[in-house]
Amino acid sequence: MQPSIENPAVRRWFAWVWLCVVFLLAGCAASDHQKHLELATWADGPSRTAIVAFVKTVTDPASPDFVPAEDRIAVFDNDGTLWSEKPIYFQVMFSMDQVHALAPSHPDWYARQPFMAVLQGDTAAVAASGERGLMEIVFATNTGMTVDQYTQRVDHWLETARHPRTKLPYNSMTYVPMRELLDYLRANGFRTYIVSGGETEFMRAWTQKAYGIPPEQVIGTAFGTQFEANGGTYQLMRLPKLDFNDDGPGKPVAIQRHIGKRPIMAFGNSDGDLQMLQWTAAGPGKRFSGIVHHTDAKREWAYDRDSSVGRLDKALDEARAKGWTVVDMEKEWTRIYAQEWP
């Protein structure tokens, strides 16, 4: 005789079984979600192990190394740490493209260096112009407009420009493993900041969408800005002068100015990040300093000590001497970008 589904005892039993199934499925889903949060595209290895162990230690209230949520600050360089930086920093690529876009309004550029070299595709002549020539190009194409106008130009460039090697949009060349790391940290009560040599407003145009990092948590090199009132309109104008260089020893200074607390975690990829990593590691309690080591010539680039962009020499030596985490991109990341190439 089969039990009747109308029997109250049978119905309660089915309800209990169904509730168990629901909780089981929810547990599986939570497990899958937790796996995603715990660095799914990081291969099992020393870097993933070190990151997870650090996060679990500083977020466990029973741990002697517990850190309150308000002090869980993690800072990240951008170029070469969160997205690619070859063959040259992407803001420089933007500036070169802007020379072509703006040249019709500047006819003198066709006969004036270093703009003429850019328009003729003469990379040797551009390089020969040195730092002074590069700054002239950057100031001419990144200033002399309002902040809103500049943001619109950056947005348009990201929508239309393509990287010369990968043919991908530049904002598609962010590292999936590092985006997972940002998500993982925030899920564990961390605040994540960008601290980069890149110019602040250039990054603020897109970091919220790319990394989930809002404009107020982006710290970078600062160009001059001036408030202007004209006929009832009020604007912030970008000026062709350097207010602050957020690189090398400037990074800890900028962190203190903008955040007011020493981070407990820092990630970089070059000697320009060394002082930020040193300052983070020197604080009291549990600390984490990490370096993204570019070792994957096939899926990205392989470079360190001899590179003109993202040179990693002194910082690599110090990382090995002090036991910092050095991420081997080729061995420890199962994926580089969200979109495969070529």
Last residue of a domain, one of 160, 187, 208: 160
Residue 19 lies in a domain: no
Last residue of a domain, one of 160, 185, 207: 160
Using DSSP bridges, classify how beta strands 218-230 and 233-244 pair: parallel, antiparallel or unpaired: antiparallel
Residue 232 lies in a domain: yes
Q: What CATH number is attached to the domain comprising 186?
A: 3.40.50.1000
Residue 96 lies in a domain: yes
Q: What is the pTM of this model?
A: 0.88
Q: Which long-range contacts (CB under 8 A, 24 or more apart) does 251-255 make?
A: 251/195, 251/275, 251/276, 251/279, 252/276, 252/279, 254/195, 254/219, 255/75, 255/193, 255/195, 255/219, 255/279
How far is residue 329's CA from residue 335's CA, in Å, rounded to a whole number?
9
Q: Please check whether residues 72 and 111 belong to one and the same domain.
A: no
Q: Is 40 helix (H, G, I), strand (E, B) or coil?
A: coil
Residue 341 lies in a domain: no
Write out the two tokens for 268. 């970089």
Q: Please check whether residues 247 and 296 belong to one and the same domain.
A: yes
Stronger pLDDT, 150 or 231, i.e. the higher one:
150
* pLDDT tier, 231 (very low <50, low <70, confident <90, very high otherwise): confident
Q: Please check whether residues 277 and 203 belong to one and the same domain.
A: yes
Q: Please check whether residues 118 and 236 belong to one and the same domain.
A: no
Q: Is the per-residue pLDDT at 11 higher than 70?
A: no
Q: Please check whether residues 149 and 250 belong to one and the same domain.
A: no
Q: Please check whether residues 72 and 103 belong to one and the same domain.
A: no
Q: Please check whether residues 199 and 142 belong to one and the same domain.
A: no
| Confidence at residue 341, expressed as pLDDT on a 0 to 100 scale | 87
Phi, psi (degrees; rounded to nearest 5) at 265: -145, 140
How far is residue 12's CA from residue 123's CA, in Å, rounded to a whole number?
77
Residue % of the chain over a pLDDT of 70: 89
Tens of pLDDT along 151-176? Answer: 999 999 999 999 999 999 999 999 99
Q: Is the per-residue pLDDT at 34 higher than 90?
A: no
* pLDDT tier, 38 (very low <50, low <70, confident <90, very high otherwise): confident
Tens of pLDDT along 45-87? Answer: 999 999 999 999 999 999 999 999 999 999 999 999 999 999 9
Q: Please check whether residues 70 and 105 belong to one and the same domain.
A: no
Q: Please check whether residues 207 and 243 belong to one and the same domain.
A: yes
| Confidence at residue 15, expressed as pLDDT on a 0 to 100 scale | 46
> Which residue range is the domain that position 316 belongs to?
38-88+170-332
Query: Structurally, how many domains does the chain consist of?
Result: 2
Q: Please check whether residues 72 and 143 belong to one and the same domain.
A: no
Rounded to the nearest 5 degrees, what angle is found at the Cα of 255, between the Cα atoms of 252 and 256? 90
| Confidence at residue 189, expressed as pLDDT on a 0 to 100 scale | 98
Last residue of a domain, one of 160, 189, 210: 160
Residue 31 lies in a domain: no
Tens of pLDDT along 248-280? Answer: 999 999 999 999 999 999 999 999 999 999 999
Q: Please check whether residues 259 and 273 belong to one and the same domain.
A: yes
Q: Is the per-residue pLDDT at 326 higher than 60?
A: yes
Q: Is 43 helix (H, G, I), strand (E, B) or coil?
A: coil
Count helices and strands (H / E) in the chain. Answer: 14, 7
Residue 340 lies in a domain: no
At a CB cut-off of 8 Å and minimum separation 6, what does 330 contact?
Answer: 295, 296, 298, 299, 302
Residue 27 lies in a domain: no
Residue % of the chain over a pLDDT of 90: 86
Q: Please check whether residues 122 and 197 belong to one and the same domain.
A: no
